[in-house]
Amino acid sequence: MEELRKIVEGSDCVLIGIGREFAYNVLSQEVMKIFSEKKKAEGLEKEAEWLLPFIKSYGCIYDKPEVILKAYDNLYQLIKGKNYFVVTLNEDEQIGKSKLEKEKITAPCGSIYRLQCSCGCEESIIDATTVVEEVISKLKQPEVTISEITKPVCGKCGKELVFNTVEAEKYLESGYMKSWEKYRMWLTGTLNRKVCLLELGVDFKYPSIIRWAFEKVAFINEKAVFVRINGAYPQLTEGLKGKAYSYHKNSVEFFQ
């Protein structure tokens, strides 16, 4: 950490890439118990699975995963006062609960805090909080069966609503494009400046967003220093020899 701190202090700006090691994938045990019991009692299988993303969203909205949030806060302590930007592959929005400034974050894989029309209606993106709360509230009521819970639908065309994430069949990228354009403008300003590229727990899913993109920036910018912290994929390319560091450790654990 002290070595990393020196690298950051010697940089004009810091570009941070957050990967799946920071992802929060825990489903609420309380809600899952209710869901499983009702599903079994009603003899349901696949027809009840539409509720799982809502249960996940509910947990992401209301849970406070201490380990992940502590890692985010320690990351903030490392880079506060610096000119920084964050690109995250995670859709769980836990980063929004940290001290990192929201206007300096882009999440191109979407957000489980937003819903969109499954058919891709333009401008159909809405905040998911109220809808998720209503669905889970009904699920929690002992007298309400899963079969009686109606799927939320688009107010424009009546089609089913799905979460505004890259997993959606017709993913609406407009949900993140404003922050992405801000990121692109920020990145332009790093040319020929001392930039620290800090890549944390990024795997090979969507590598063009962070892994390959960061390597390219580090290769082109002669003043760049690249740092990769990863518990599974810490390898560096030959092209970054002499300007890159690799730490073979889970990035969340690193920041505890």
186: tokens are 């920020």
145 found inside a domain: no
Q: What is the pLDDT of residue 156?
A: 87
Q: Tell me, yes or no, whether 243 lies in a domain.
A: yes
Q: What is the CATH number of the domain that holds 183?
A: 3.40.50.1220
Helical residues (DSSP H) of 190-250, grouped into ranges: 211-220
pLDDT at 192: 87
Residue 227 in any domain: the answer is yes
**pLDDT reported for residue 124:** 84
Q: In the block, which residue shows the tokens 């836990």?
A: 94
- In total, the chain counts a number of residues equal to 256
> Does 122 fall in a domain?
no
The pLDDT score that the predictor gives to residue 122 is 79
pLDDT score of 43: 96
| In a domain? residue 202 | yes
The tens-digit pLDDT sequence of the chain (256 residues) is 999 999 999 999 999 999 999 999 989 899 999 999 999 999 999 999 999 999 999 999 999 999 999 999 999 999 999 999 999 999 999 999 999 999 999 999 999 999 999 999 977 899 999 999 999 999 999 999 999 999 999 988 999 999 999 999 999 999 999 999 999 999 999 988 999 999 999 999 999 999 999 999 999 999 999 999 999 999 999 989 889 999 999 999 999 9
Contacts 24+ apart (CB under 8 A), 175-183: 175/110, 175/111, 175/114, 175/116, 175/125, 176/106, 176/107, 176/108, 176/110, 176/111, 179/103, 179/105, 179/106, 179/107, 180/106, 180/108, 182/103, 182/106, 183/85, 183/87, 183/106
For residue 151, being part of any structural domain is answered with: no
Residue 252: give the domain boundaries.
1-23+65-108+176-256
- Residue 75 placed within a domain: yes
**Residue 17 CB partners (closer than 8 Å, separation 6+):** 86, 87, 88, 89, 197, 198, 199, 200, 202, 210, 211, 214
Domain assignment present for 158: no
Q: How many domains does the chain have?
A: 1
